[in-house]
Structure 1
Amino acid sequence: MLNRKIYQLCCDGQEICVFLRDQQRWIERTRIVDIEGDLVTLRYETEEEEEICSWEEMVRLESIGAITQKLAGVPKGNVDPLVSDECPEAEQLRNNQYPDSNSES
């Protein structure tokens, strides 16, 4: 089952994080660029002392212990979410939907 998922992620070209169980480390923000037999080729970048290094690493399929994938991101802070023009009014967020409980009525 993991083999099929790895193949699908390779075809999609999505950015993932891979845990290598034999090295007990995570490779973050990587892409699977090729699968040949039981070898998986990963491509990623690291930042070291004001230098960005690009890496291509070949790992055995059996050494991959886990894969994580970012589904979505939400900015922190007081930022209004983007709302599509096509969003029905009943589903739109209102600014004063939850009034402050400390304010007087």
Structure 2
Amino acid sequence: MAWILLVVAGLLEVGWAIGLKYTEGFTRPVPTALTLLSMAASMALLGLAARTLPIGTAYGVWVGIGAVGAGLLGVLLFQEPATPARLAFMALMIVAIIGLKATSGH
């Protein structure tokens, strides 16, 4: 169950990271409210997952999911560069996430 909470927390991190772009410096009320709600939910779920999982593993996976998701959505939504090196490093983050899961003992 902790891993499910952690994955959902990571996906919510992607949501708030992308949401930051839409808040326009927290000047737009609806995107700001949704971003803040996503932040709070993401942190709460990370906290719940960390009750069972090692904090280094939980935090590393959470950040990795957020970074890869935000990077991919940045390419798709905001025409950010999709250079081979950038995509390769995102792939390495995915490998690191899988490695953390495989070696967590949970």
TM-score of the pair, normalised by structure 1: 0.24
Q: Which has the larger radius of gyration?
A: 1
Structure with the greater relative contact order (CA < 8 A, sep ≥ 6): 1 or 2? 2
- Which structure shows the higher helix fraction? 2
TM-score of the pair, normalised by structure 2: 0.24
